Structure 1
């Protein structure tokens, strides 16, 4: 068994409901307004009763932009829903005073536990519409986009190809499929989500759209990706198993910040699926959204503990 397969079996392929309950009971609690899930295994359990529900702290009608003038739109990755992908990042940002918004897309139905498998080109248009909805509801002039995996690539595509750059303040990608990946990587990712393996291939147009050399990836990668007026930060892990080779998420262009989690905390062994739950990655996201208050992550509480 490979290192990656071992990590996945250890973290995600829990053998029984009893094991899932044990994982939940054993989870430490943290004093905060919105509860932060410690890892994606718990995030999946939390999403089971209502896959269409937003994670804690997100999509709040009463949110004020006084502390942070740009609403943060989170875009989840392939096979995931907003609850299981952003069960840590959404509440953590909300606890830090951000107005957080997120949505499901590309699923068989709004209530499907597996989302983000439909045409990625169509999903980019859904993202564009959602950004306009958030701007209308909040009165903001721009949003900060944070996308994980496919979500990061959709944000990049929206900014460049659809013309969304004027509406984006910062764009943060967590292991985005910027230059595509292999079907093997997406198949391995599918093993994280119950029932997703059956959708890989013909039942997952988004998988084909993210493969190396697809028409969508060629369109995104033809010429410069980074757009004027948008702040770009790409965050990767050296323990990447989906977007390969490692480092291929990066946009190697002037003005783009590319950083590995391990550049801040060398012993952090977070992988692709849990990147949006990693304390170090979450702090790097916060640093990108608010450079004036940026500080180094606390490596003593790295993966899988929530950020402080």
Structure 2
């Protein structure tokens, strides 16, 4: 991610936030959700992080949502998380890599972020009684779970990783993390884990080819291969109806070629 773009965008958000704007209803777009999460620190996602939730027979695995770099659980998942909860999943959203006084996280190394994810998954499985979880991540939040299953014992706790526009391979500009080299050699997947990567050709942050996995157990979906007129970009992909439909299909092991445009 280009630092100047990030800093300029963050500055603009904070200027807007100082005006005290708010929403009567949860926002349904990424820019609105960013602003809402700044104006309302600690905003909660509807139906999410209920540690008394018990998985159903229909949806036996809790869903763990992992936000991206310079994001938080609210602005990343304000649209998708309530939909998953309404569908009957036990849904949990992690905030990680944050510093006091900064409204956005994902700032630590991939290794440190994966350690936070490990602790969170332990709490989710202990509370729900589930033996495994499915993880849905955006951007860096789609790469962090790979480190967790590769190095921190997550392969025994994670059945599926569904990643939206993750930086799985090096891209032009500042490197995401040295951890990528280890994660991709000799193969970029871990046995027993199902990987689904959902990308857009219009990604302005991570070239979509750098997201694609090649190892056993990986499925890659380019949104425009299904819906050529779709122009969703990096920050908006978790709000995109087609991407969300693909997430739901991936979680149940369904057909990824049947999206409704």
Residues 54 and 103, structure 1, Cα contact 8 Å, conserved in 2: no
Specify the alignment match of 1:172 in structure 2: 162
Equivalent in 224, 235, 260 of residue 262 of structure 1: 224
Counterpart-to-counterpart distance in 1, 2:194 and 2:151 = 17
Q: C-alpha separation between the residues in 1 aligned to 2:232 and 2:40? A: 27
Query: Which deviates further from its counterpart, 138-147 or 118-127?
Result: 118-127
Question: 2:94 aligns to what?
Answer: 103
2:68 corresponds in structure 1 to 77
Instruction: Name stretches of at least 5 consecutive residues in structure 1 with no aligned partner.
Output: 26-34, 185-207, 300-308
| Residues 51 and 112, structure 1, Cα contact 8 Å, conserved in 2 | no
**TM-score after normalising by structure 1:** 0.74
In 2, Cα distance between equivalents of 1:293 and 1:258: 12
**Partner SS, residue 171 of structure 1:** strand
Runs of at least 5 residues in structure 2 that lack an aligned partner in the other structure:
none
Q: For 1:292 and 1:275, how far apart are their aligned partners in 2?
A: 20
Please state whether the residue corresponding to 1:105 is helix, strand or coil. Answer: coil
Deviations 1:58-105 (A, max 9, x none): 101342311310000000000001000111111111111111101211
**2:55 is the counterpart of 1:55:** no
SS class of match (1:248): helix
Question: Which residue, 190, 199, 223 being the options, matches 1:227?
Answer: 190
Question: Which residues of 2 match residues 12-51 of structure 1 at below 5 A?
Answer: 37-51=27-41
1:218-238 Cα offsets, whole Å, 9 max, x none, are 111121121111111000001
**CA distance in 2 between partners of 1:21 and 1:107 (Å):** 23
Alignment of 1:150 onto 2:140 = yes
Q: Hey, what's the Cα distance between the residues in 2 that align with 1:57 and 1:124?
A: 24
Aligned length: 252
